[in-house]
Structure 1
Amino acid sequence: MRIRILITLLIYMIVQGVLFGIGMVVVLATPLKEQANVLVPWVVGITFIIAVPVALGVAPRMLAWREMRSRRPSEESRL
């Protein structure tokens, strides 16, 4: 369970950064830039919240991939 939490936290930070970048591009590269002082805090808050379920959905898949990869026979055992 501890590994799943650590993987979730790692993925959360990555997902939150990507979502924040997308949100900032949308705000600053469109006519919404006139309202940037109001929208930027909203982007931060929304990406902070949206990243949680995304990370919780991706973490079990990464953990399953890690388990599957560790069970595969290695190249050295085939020789």
Structure 2
Amino acid sequence: MLKTDTWLKIISSMMINAVVFGVGAIVVLSIPALAEHAIYLIPAVVVISFVVAPILSFYVAPRMRLKYWGERRWKKGDSISG
């Protein structure tokens, strides 16, 4: 059985992968100079999203745990939530 932290990293990695791919695909397809080379850039966006997603999930997954949100830190906020 996997630990809860591992499950959170897997789930957040899948969501981050979808967002990174979506942003990359929109950038490639909406800029005419890049759209001409989309046959090469879209697979590159797929590879980049698979590489970047697990790295970013190590920063996002701990924030999904309640134990990391003590009352003092919750009131203060952080760099993401303000």
The residue number in structure 1 matching 2:35 is 33
> Percent identity among equivalent residues?
36
In the TM superposition, what whole-angstrom CA distance separates every residue of 1:46-69 from its partner, at most 9, and x where no partner exists?
111011111011111212xx2367
Segments of 5+ residues of structure 1 without an aligned counterpart are 70-79
Task: State how many pairs are aligned.
Answer: 67
Change (3 A) 1:35 1:6: same
Q: Distance in 1 between matches of 2:67 and 2:62?
A: 10
Does structure 1 conserve the Cα–Cα contact (< 8 Å) formed by 2:62 and 2:68?
no
Segments of 5+ residues of structure 2 without an aligned counterpart are 70-82
Task: Report which of the two has the higher share of helix.
Answer: 1
> Structure with the greater relative contact order (CA < 8 A, sep ≥ 6): 1 or 2?
1
Q: Superposition RMSD on alpha carbons, in Å?
A: 1.5
**TM norm structure 2:** 0.75
Larger radius of gyration: 1
In the TM superposition, what whole-angstrom CA distance separates every residue of 1:27-74 from its partner, at most 9, and x where no partner exists?
0000211100000110000111011111011111212xx2367xxxxx
Q: Which runs of 4+ in 1 moved over 4 A?
A: none
